[in-house]
Amino acid sequence: MTNDYWKSLVEKYFEAETTPEEEERLRGFLAVTEDPAFDEAKAVMGYFSVRIGQRAVHRTTYGLWRIVAAAAALILVAVLGWRLTDRNTCMMVAYGEKTTDKTIVMSDVHDILTDLFGEDQGPDVAGQLTDLFN
């Protein structure tokens, strides 16, 4: 192929009319030619080649950080969910004594509410919830 062909291909490249295959052939030619007439094209295509390579690395590291952040978020949610599901205990501390027996705790709560509001408290909590949701 003659220098006229390569010069016309460079002109097409600068006017953004080359196909990807033509650009690849031009890039290969510019890598081996020593003709000073192609120095400008070498400089421009070399710049874009470096920029494309840098952008690919940036996108790769950005994508990697997104994956790491998503994995960390999933681990955090899993650990919190595991820790919070173990909280279904009933506990009361009264007069310095800790009790986890549900019947004793509910009995003491009932006694305290009876002392505060009297015997006739109306419907209990279960009854009120049943009224709300039925």
Yes or no: say if 118 and 110 are a contact pair by the CB < 8 Å rule: no
- What the block records as the tokens of 98 is 């800790």
Q: What integer pLDDT is reported at residue 53 of this predicted model?
A: 47
Q: What integer pLDDT is reported at residue 55 of this predicted model?
A: 52
The pLDDT tens digits of the residues spanning 64-100 come to 788 888 888 888 888 887 776 656 667 778 788 888 8
Q: What contacts 26, CB < 8 A, 6 or more positions away?
A: 6, 9, 10, 13, 18, 41, 45
Domain ranges of the chain: 3-83, 92-133
Has this prediction a pTM greater than 0.85?
Answer: no
Q: Which helix (H) or strand (E) holds 46?
A: helix 39-85
Q: What integer pLDDT is reported at residue 58 of this predicted model?
A: 53
3-state secondary structure of 49: helix
Q: Can you tell me the distance from the alpha carbon of 51 to that of 60, in angstroms, rounded to the nearest whole number?
A: 14
Strand partners, 99: 92
Q: Taking 80 as the threshold, does the pLDDT of residue 61 lie above it?
A: no
